[in-house]
Structures are given as structure tokens and as C-alpha cells.
Structure 1
Amino acid sequence: MTSPISAFPAPRTVAAVTGPTVAIDIGGTKIAGALVHPDGTMTAVTRRPTPRAADAETVMAAVGEVVADLSGAPMWEQAVRCGIGSAGPVDTSRGTVSPVNIGAWRGFPVQDRVAAALRARGARIPVVLAGDGVAMTAAEHWLGAARGHANALCMVVSTGVGGGLILNNQLHTGPTGNAGHIGHISVAFDGEPCACGGRGCVESLASGTAIARWARDQGWTGPDPTAAGVAASAQAGDPVALAAFDRAGRALAAAIAATATLVETDIAVIGGGVAASGDTLFEPVRRHLASYATLSFVRDLRVVPAALGTHAGLIGAAAAAMLLLPGGGAATA
């Protein structure tokens, strides 16, 4: 009888991959691009602000500008694959995205459109689409804080909240690429409506947008109306700002514990802009986690900051392409 572990296919690695990868990271705030090399180094890094209030073609035009910037890089002609990491939900089976924080894109065929933009710049290479949480997970397991862990949850806490899973040393994407999308787990059954249509989602409580909105609603009047501004006030002892981060930390802790209980992860890695607040976020997450992760097999669950910082999305988009394309993605005609 086959054992449960040996029933999984052998984990894929990026160790034997050659050639640079065109990496594109699409989020609610920025669209970034780079050439990522097999050792994880990056060149030709570029970015554009995401035109969130614009129509679908205007958003795509910003992606096209990023591709145009990259095409001027000295190693452009050596690129052999492209990885796209996008805010979700995504549908990797169709190559489409419907980011909650980019309202103009609903079922947008970003994989085909990026492939066309690449061809227009002379790059006829295979293209892989991954959710931003999955991309960040691939990056942190390859080179970051989840390296060496066979089972891990990785999260992006920024304008939205996304995530991804490593199970038995493999990137677990699910049929449509949304496995591990922890931002839309409900942790408050009578909570406020979420932009996704659900109620009480982690994202509606713990994203940077949600933290800042809740603080303002409670009377906080700091000069910087963003989550970073709330974090600065919390570090100065402002009670409303501290309460906003405590609320976010509790939501994250509940979702992390639920995920770990379901699939037995032993580490949770948190990255994204909100994670840059350091212990202002991590202290309440860890404190509340002790109340949620109580069973013996999740009690020792660790919560740590992501190691790759703001470049995790780009490195992850490349890592996902290396892992998910047959043979690491040889160039196509």
C-alpha cells in the first residue's frame, strides 16, 4: 500500500533552471517588473502606479509600459519564460484575473495580453500566471523565511490580503490558482461586508486599507491617513491606533490558526506593506494566536516576517514560472 507521503509526486525545484525570467507583479498600488536570474538576483527593476480608477485598457497600458521598460535591458533577448504575479482572485486555468482592488479588471485575460505585449517586443516565451500570494509563497520558500519548511503558509498583508501554501515541499496552487487565498476566509460571521461579496473576511479587518479606515472611523486623526500613519501613531502609544492593529492581529491570528489546523503547517510567513510595521503587527498576531492555535499539532506554530521585502512579488512571479512550467520553461517559437 502506498504511504500518504510517497503518494505525492516528487517536489520540483528551481535548482536546474537556466536563463532569466521576465517577472511582472500586479497589485492594487503598483505594477512592477524585473528580469529575475536563476540565483534570485534581479536586474532592470521598473514600476508604474496602478491606475485603479481607470478602465481596463488603461491598467493594461501600465503593464505594457513595464514590459517596454524591460525590453530595453541588456539581457532581454536571453529571457526564456515570464511569470505574472497578480492580486486575486485569479483563474490560472483560463489565464484571467479579477482583482478585488482593481475594479476595471473582471475576468481580464492578462496572461494572453502580456504574452502579446512580450511578442511585440520580440520575446516569444511561455507565460505563467499566479496569484500574488502564491507568488510570494514560492519566493519565500525558495529564498526566504519559509526555506527548509515542508509545510508553510505565506501571506501578503498590504492593500489587500493574499496567501499561498507549501504542502510537502510543493507549491500548492489548486485548480484555479487560488489555494491559500486566506484574505477571504471569514473570521467574523456577523462582520462588515467585504468587497468580495462575503462578510467578515480577513481582508476587511486586517488589510492596510481596513486598518486605516477603522482607525479613522474610531476618531483617529493622524496626519498620514494610511496604515503606515496608523502604525506610527501606535508606536507612539495612541490607543485608537493600537486598537486598530490589535483588531487586525486578531483576525490574522484566527485565520492562521484555522489554516494550520486544516493542513498542518508549522510556520506562517507574513509580508507586504503592513508587515513593515514590525512588532506593531506581529505582537498582537502572536498574542492572539496563543488563544486560537491550542491543539497539540499547531501549538508550536511560528509566525515570522517575510525575508524578501518588497521584491518578494517579483522573485515569486519568477519562481512560480520556474516551478510550474514544464522543464522550467524553455523558450518557445
Structure 2
Amino acid sequence: MQIEAAAARTAATDGLVVALDIGGTKIAGALVDDRGTLLVRAQRPTPAAEDAESVMRAVSEVIGELAADPRRPLATAVGIGSAGPVDASSGTVSPVNVPGWRDFPLVQRVREATGGLPVVLTGDGVAITAAEHWQGAARGYDNALCMVVSTGVGGGFVLGGVLHPGPTGNAGHIGHISVDLDGDPCPCGARGCVERIASGPNIARRALDGGWRPPEGVEATAAAVAESARAGDPVARASFVRAAQALAAGIAAAATLVEIQVAVVGGGVAGAGELLFGPLREQLRRYATLSFAAGVKVVPAQLGTDAGLVGAAAAAFAAPLVPPSAGPYGLAGGPRAVLSA
């Protein structure tokens, strides 16, 4: 079933878009209005270990569920925030944590699945940055780095008050800055990347390598490591400190290059709270030592798991193919930014 492109926009459907948030763990979708309200939701697990068509089938199921909603609201465009790297200029994606997708023509396939709607593609970190700058923790800052620390580590920049996705939609992809030149190999091909140290699976991997074991019947995840760390397990705590060190080094590098004022950190790993943020702020003081970088604030993201969907919608509203409302990225509440598409 396909979502119909609007021939004429009505008051009830004004500013409605489809938003997709595609990651290594889940594929989420929503119908979103021009105030960022998620009206209808759908979600599937990402079959990341399967082939390209299996992953696309999950995307199509999410789109089909949105289209099957009894209200059947009309949509004017689709915004996608995808795990990266992405290539917004060609409409393709090659997520590190979805090996079946390499140069996968996601924009074309989603356009076909939605009956020819315009499709705007960004990296997931850029999408989350758009959302947090619009109505989250980066609101009011002209220069910000927003990060998502989860299955992977992504990010995006706001520079001079404008979202800065870069020509292909990957600017701010802090997860693949190398912070340990002789460190473990990363799936991206480099060594010692922030993601290889600070992502949830790697926090758990490092704790397991150090001798930590989860309670019986509990999966070895970053959340389980966090629980053990709070209970006083030194190996579990050390794994979080190491993750914080990697994140601090990456943030300090960004601050040195482009003079950010704030670093917003979200994603599942950020749910550990002060277990992560405490050592992160401490480590940042060690790495961000130059006067123009030393004042960077580190704050938790505010939009939670909805940030990717809100940001993907923001990308769709910003596209020239969709008549925007006044506001950030085409939404109500602030100045627009220009996104590459």
C-alpha cells in the first residue's frame, strides 16, 4: 500500500511528511506535522545481518503500516535519517552497521514505495542535530555538535546558526574520527575510531574482555554494564570511563576545528547518565585545553528516541520540493537552514 502524494494541501494535512529513522537496531517511521508532532508511528527491527532486500523489506513494511492508518492523511514528502555513511547527492547509503547495504539506492526505493513522493536523505546524526537545534538541548546555540551514541556513534554540526550537513550529508560524523592511532580495527577500515571505543556494543565487548559477566539470564549490553558499574563493578566502570575518554577526545577535536559552544549527547548509551557524563566532562577538560575550545558545555539530548524522526521530518520540510512553514529547517519557531539533498 502506498502513501498518496497530496494533489492539494488542506488545513488538516498542511505540512505533513513521512519521516524514517533507519539504524542498525531498528527502522522507525512516523507521519509528522509541521510542528514536529508525530501523528502515526510504525517500527520494525533492522535485519542488519541479512541481505539488502531483507532490510528494504523491513523499510517497506514500516511505510506500509503508516499508509494503512485509518486516517490515511496525505503526505507531501519523505525525510530519511539513516545510519551512515550516506551520499545525499546520489541518494545511496552504506551504513557501517548494516553490511548488506553498500551503495544501496535508498532514495529511489523509498520513492517507489511511497508512490513517487519527493525524498530527502540525511545521515542520522545530521537529522538528530536538526531536531535538537529546533526544539531540544541545542536550541539557542549558533555553534553546536550533536551526537548520538548507540549501536554506532554519529553526529552533526550547527555552524553560524545553520545546520551543516556537508555535500553528501555526513558532516559531523564524529564516530569515525580516530582517537587511538594503534587501536582496534574499526569496520569502517580505520583504527581506533570513537565508535569502536564508545558505542554500546563496544562498551559491552570491552567489559567482557576485561572479565565482566552479566547476571545470569541478562544479555551483555551497555545497559547491563551500566547496572554493574553502578553496583560498584570496577571493570564495568572502567569500560564507561574509556568510552567517555574517546568521546571527549572527539569533542575536543571538533571544538578545536570549528569552535562549537555546546556538545549535545544522546542515544541509548547516554541513558547511563552521570556514569557517562561525569567522566566525559572530566576527560574533556584534559583534551580541550586551548582557550577557544575549553568552554564547551556537554549536555544530554532532550528529545530521546524521537529525535531521529523529528529531524528526518525537518529535513523533508527544508527541501525546496516542499513548501515550508516559517521556522528552523522549514518548521515553526526559528530561522530556516539549508540542507543538501
Shift of 1:76: 4.0
Q: Name the CA distance, whole Å, in 2 between partners of 1:254 and 1:285.
A: 9
Deviation string, structure 1 residues 135-188 (Cα, Å, up to 9, x no partner): 000000011000111010000100000000001111101111111000000001
2:103 is the counterpart of 1:107 = yes
Deviation string, structure 1 residues 204-262 (Cα, Å, up to 9, x no partner): 00000110000000000013300110011111111001000000000000000110110
2:120 is the counterpart of 1:128 = yes
Equivalence for 1:200: 192
Shift of 1:264: 0.6
2:174 is the counterpart of 1:179 = no
- Where structure 1 has 5 or more consecutive residues not aligned to the other structure, the ranges are 1-16
Shift of 1:295: 1.3
Equivalence for 1:310: 305
TM-score by length of 2: 0.88
Equivalence for 1:273: 268
- The residue correspondences of 1:71-220 to structure 2 (distance < 5 A) are 71-74=67-70, 76-119=72-115, 124-220=116-212
Which one of the candidate residues 234, 239, 245 is aligned to 2:240?
A: 245
Q: Name the CA distance, whole Å, in 1 between partners of 2:157 and 2:207.
A: 31
2:32 is the counterpart of 1:31 = no
Shift of 1:18: 4.4
Q: Name the CA distance, whole Å, in 2 between partners of 1:249 and 1:325.
A: 39
2:320 is the counterpart of 1:325 = yes
Superposition RMSD in Å: 1.4
Letter in 1 for 2:97: N
Shift of 1:277: 0.9
Equivalence for 2:36: 40
Other structure's SS at 1:195 match: coil
- Where structure 2 has 5 or more consecutive residues not aligned to the other structure, the ranges are 1-12, 326-341
Contact 1:126-1:329 at 8 Å conserved across structures: no
Equivalence for 2:3: none
Contact 1:85-1:314 at 8 Å conserved across structures: yes
Q: Name the CA distance, whole Å, in 1 between partners of 2:310 and 2:30.
A: 9
Other structure's SS at 2:114 match: helix
Q: Name the CA distance, whole Å, in 1 between partners of 2:65 and 2:181.
A: 45
Shift of 1:75: 5.2
Shift of 1:314: 0.5
Q: Name the CA distance, whole Å, in 2 between partners of 1:328 and 1:150.
A: 25
Note closer, same or farther for the CA distance 1:276–1:292 as it changes in structure 2 (3 Å cut): same
- The residue correspondences of 1:256-271 to structure 2 (distance < 5 A) are 256-271=251-266
